[in-house]
Structure 1
Amino acid sequence: MDNITLYHGSDKIIAEPKMKLGKIYNDYGQGLYCTRHIELAKEWAVDDGRDGFVNAYELPVKGLRILNLNGEDYSILHWLTVLLEHRVVGLNTPVAQEGLTFLKKNYHVSLDGYDVIVGYRADDSYFAFARGFISNSISLAQLEEAMYLGELGMQYFIKSEKAFSRLKFIEAIPVDCNDYYLKKTVRNSTARANYRNITNTMDRNGTYLIDLMRKE
């Protein structure tokens, strides 16, 4: 596969995306977050009472260094550690603080030198599962179940100057908030319902973060 089509949902047309834009404390840092699923990008593009655009790009990937956090060399704990290292998360208990230290020691993945990062997208609703795992409220199996239930798909994080220079803008597709904001809110409410269902059931045979720490 030499070329892939990527979609980025926004409130504006971005014909020439720039490096070092967006939130500093995002999943993988500052850069351009895209998906290969146009319907998901349409949800990202809108807000309550505000229409948006899906910006479509073509990216030649041959010769780019791509880190796939969902590849066979990595587990969901590697992805989670990257996420916790870049997001701002309140750790209110000693167990959670020690848990983050444990994850950084054993599952840290350096993003240096990569052009593109591929991994789950943890929107705000699903970030609750990351907090739940590090506070030992849910097991590893429950964390994995939650991410699969979310159907968030993979996000492609355009990171390097080399990758940005290759992005070719195709078009900007208008998105009506009346059509896609409801889908966005349904996804969020489903996430909250899933979280309640999972946290209300103890995984008695599951592996929790504190179990991994004790084994070490």
Structure 2
Amino acid sequence: MTQNPERSLMLFHGSPVRVETPLFGKGNSRNDYGLGFYCTESRELACEWACPTTENGYVNSYGLQTTGLAFLNLNDPSYTCLHWLAVLVKYRRFDATTPLMAEAKEFVLDRYSVDLSKFDVVSGYRADDSYFSFARAFLDNRLSLSQLQQALLLGELGKQVVIRSKRAFDALSFIDAELVRGSDWHPRRSARDNQARAQYRNLARDTSESSVYMLDLLRGA
């Protein structure tokens, strides 16, 4: 658990609407890291999130006073992509379509779970539809561990910052909401996803006998 020194963190939230007062306890509990307010330190990424279609959206900006807040960074070297995966399969809707995937899911949850309830703010890789499909491929033994690690870096994945606790919500201050054009940012969002999928297809063809797959982890358990 990391206690941050006193400073203000600039965060952005892309949305089809203005969000001047994020509400604690509201939202979708099936997001990547569970119930919370999902932001990014990248304005560009927020512009893309604001425009899931060609309709215009808003980039809402906030200041977060970090004094006394407990932070978890899943990209820290003390964690692996398996910890990220365990968080993902715990909170996202995940239908195991094969017996192997079901066994792999339980293995990852048993060995690599992280208790997010101890933290006010959690940051780590985001998992849109393309990246969630990469995680599923690994659990189904169609992608090696090293390939999954590389896949997380494809398409400039970006990092999300999730405000989870009431204390963190109270430390969040609205600054502004900027209108952004869907005709500009939706194509960039689509291009990022298409780039990641194309790079993933190339990556999946690159196999090595020394690679570690899900079955190897299960057999070594």
Within the candidate set 81, 86, 94, 2:86 is matched to 81
The farther-off stretch of 104-113 and 190-199 is: 190-199
Q: Which residue in the other structure is 1:181 paired with? A: 186
> Residues of 2 paired with 1:108 and 1:88: CA distance?
16
- Greater shift, 3-12 or 16-25, is seen at 16-25
Instruction: Find the residue that maps to 1:23 and give its secondary structure.
Output: coil
TM-score by length of 2: 0.94
Where does 1:157-176 land on structure 2 (aligned, <5 Å)? 157-176=162-181
| Aligned counterparts, 1:35-184, within 5 A | 35-184=40-189
Which 5+ residue runs of structure 1 have no aligned equivalent? none
**TM superposition score normalised by structure 1:** 0.96
Cα pair 2:124 2:159 within 8 Å, conserved: yes
Q: Is the 8 A contact 1:46 1:52 kept in 2?
A: yes
Instruction: Give the partner amino acid of 1:6.
Output: L
Q: Structure 2 unaligned runs (5+)?
A: none
1:196 aligned residue: 201
Structure 1 Cα separation of the partners of residues 208 and 24 of structure 2? 42
Structure 1 residue ranges, 4+ long, deviating more than 3 angstroms after superposition: none
Listed one character per residue, the Cα deviations across residues 154-206 of structure 1 (whole Å, up to 9, x for unaligned) are 11000000000010101001110111011011011112212322233333321
Which deviates the most, 192-201 or 13-22?
Answer: 192-201
**Identity value in percent:** 44
Q: Is the 8 Å Cα contact of residues 138 and 203 (structure 1) preserved in structure 2?
A: no
Q: Distance in 2 between matches of 1:119 and 1:140?
A: 18
SS of residue matched to 1:148:
coil
Determine if contact 1:138/1:198 at 8 Å carries over to the other structure.
no
CA RMSD of aligned residues (A): 1.2
Q: Give the residue type in structure 1 aligned to 2:34.
A: G
1:126 maps to a residue whose letter is: Y
C-alpha contact (below 8 Å) 1:25/1:87 kept by paired residues: yes
